[in-house]
Amino acid sequence: MASKAAHKRLTKEFLTMQREPPPFVWAAPDEKNILTWNFLIRGPPDSPFAGGEYHGVLLFPAEYPFKPPGIKMITPSGRFQPDRRICFSMSDFHPGSWNPAWSCATILTGLLSFMLSDEMTTGSVTSSDSHKRAFAQRSHAWNIIQPRFKEAFPEHCAPELRELPNMGEQSRGKPESPTTTRAPFIFSGASSSVPTSPTSTPTPVITTANSDIIRRRLPVPNRDNTKAPTPTTGWATTWRGVIWEKWRWGALIALAVVVSRFSSGA
């Protein structure tokens, strides 16, 4: 049984895998046991595994992420022995080199890189590139008749090979494929409303309640068509009135003086 820490971590990693699957890789937990993950690896182009579809399992310990998982590849590939544990730096063969910060995506990316190399280890086999290509061509037909594959990936059991969510299109300068992989189940602790598309994002919804709140926070426009005078405009108007009054009285006094002088002279 998974520890609380393992369950929480694996739940988070499953959601991350759905949102941001690594290139040529897909994985999901078993419906009955979150510590067992089924994965698919697609052979990258320009490699002997091009066009291949490889099913395997990750066997996480109850102490994960503080201990590494066991790793098996079930589909014959010409690189690993089918259904045998594989020894490499991120597997349970090397607990001393394990880093708890590594995730399922990190492990599978590392496994794919190791698969493309020629390094020999426990669980690996030696074969020519032509044999690897032959295994790749037969891999999907082999997978769809296997009970474990049909149970883990029913959506991939059609006669035609189905693409994974991330086929490395961006690295080759092409747009991402719109094809998505359906999550085989939503285990306890994960919301059933989580989108399975890695590019989908929830659309904000404004309800009547929060629209009223937003409306109350918006500034209320001035309903009067006349613009309210600013303090600066009010002071200017006042000074203009004072000056006008003084000028008017001064003009009247000057006029009165002139009239009186003319009257005296007459």
Bigger pLDDT: 110 vs 237? 110
Compute the distance between CA of residue 16 and CA of residue 25 in angstroms, rounded to an integer: 13
* Structural domains counted in the chain: 1
Q: Is residue 260 part of a domain?
A: no
Query: pLDDT at residue 11 above 70?
Result: yes
Mean pLDDT of 235-262: 62
CA atoms of 112 and 106, how far apart (whole Å): 10
User: Percentage of residues in the chain with pLDDT exceeding 70?
Assistant: 64
Check residue 147 and give its pLDDT. Answer: 97
Categorize the per-residue pLDDT at 243 as very low, low, confident or very high, splitting at 50, 70 and 90: low
Please report whether residue 235 resides in a domain: no
pTM of the predicted protein model: 0.67
Q: What is the pLDDT of residue 205?
A: 37
User: What CATH number has the domain bearing residue 105?
Assistant: 3.10.110.10
Residue 87's pLDDT is: 96
Q: Which amino acid is at 20?
A: E
Percentage, residues of the chain above pLDDT 90: 62
Q: Is residue 201 part of a domain?
A: no
What pLDDT score was predicted for residue 168? 87
Strands lying side by side in the sheet with 84-85: 25-29, 36-42, 53-59, 70-73, 84-85
User: Considering the domain boundaries, does residue 246 fall inside one?
Assistant: no
Does 132 map to a domain?
Answer: yes
How far apart, in Å, are the Cα atoms of 110 and each of 1, 89, 90? 26, 9, 8
**Which segment of 37-51, 107-121, 124-138, 234-248 scores lowest on mean pLDDT?**
234-248
Listed in sequence order, the DSSP H helices in the chain are: 4-19, 104-116, 129-143, 147-152, 208-217, 231-265
Predicted confidence (pLDDT) at residue 240 exceeds the cutoff of 90: no
For range 129-138, the mean pLDDT:
98
Whose tokens are 């496994």? That residue is 111
Range of the domain at 141: 1-166
- Written in H, E and C, the secondary structure of 32-62 is CCCCEEEEEEECCCCCCCCCCEEEEEEECCC
Residues contacting residue 61 through CB under 8 Å, at least 6 positions apart: 6, 35, 67, 68, 69, 92
Catalytically annotated residue among 5, 50, 59, 87: 87
pLDDT at 129 over 80: yes
Comparing 210 with 56, the larger pLDDT belongs to: 56
The yes-or-no verdict on residue 138 having pLDDT over 60 is: yes
Indicate whether 253 belongs to any domain.
no
Q: Is 215 part of any domain?
A: no
Is pLDDT larger for residue 246 or for residue 114? 114
The answer as to whether 218 is a domain residue is no
Segment 173-202 shows an average pLDDT of 42
104 is catalytic: no
Give the mean pLDDT of 209-233: 42
Average pLDDT, the chain: 79
